[in-house]
Amino acid sequence: MIRRLDETDLGVLIAIRREALVTDPRSFTASPGSDLGLDHEFVRASMAETSTQAYLGAFDPGLIGMAGVYRYPKEKERHRAGVWGMYVRLSHRGRGHGSTLLAAAVDFARSLSGVTHLCLCVSETADAAMHLYERFGFVTWGRDSAGLRVEGEVVTVRHMALELDEDR
């Protein structure tokens, strides 16, 4: 089951976010020591912005995955939304949870009036994630060959975008 997370989910959301950063450090630009997504007050305030962003959770039966979606805030970029923090617990991968989470993220982006593009970044070390995004129609528009440096290793990051229907 996929649903929008709210303040009652704050503790489990932050726990799974921390797990994601520790389990897959090459998949996220954030680090556990400095990530705003681990700060209760920041997340609580972000959750209150329900018209421009959403925290989505996959449940089986507890929280086993998450994805964030936000509308770009600057006037000249408001036609874009972004996906961030997409993660499914290792024990639940390969069961379609990532697809359902991404579908919910795309649906939320489509619900935002005037949003025509959904953007994301993905580490080239995250093969399954790249293939998932490509199956949904995301197209790579750029590569940052030194996008991340994790434990001395340089990791290439792909920038991807999905064109959304304008006839909504």
Summarised one tens digit per residue, pLDDT across range 11-26 is: 999 999 999 999 999 9
Q: Is residue 157 part of a domain?
A: yes
pLDDT digits (tens, 9 = 90+) for 95-124: 999 999 999 999 999 999 999 999 999 999
Q: Give the pairing of strands 153-163 and 117-123.
A: antiparallel
Q: Is residue 47 part of a domain?
A: yes
Q: Is residue 52 part of a domain?
A: yes
Per the structure, the complete domain to which residue 109 belongs is given by 2-163
Measure the CA–CA gap between 148 and 30, rounded to whole angstroms: 10
Q: How many domains does the chain have?
A: 1
* Cis preceding linkage at 32, omega within 30: no
CATH value at residue 103: 3.40.630.30
Q: Is residue 168 part of a domain?
A: no
165 burial (CB, 10 Å; 0-12 / 13-18 / 19+) is exposed
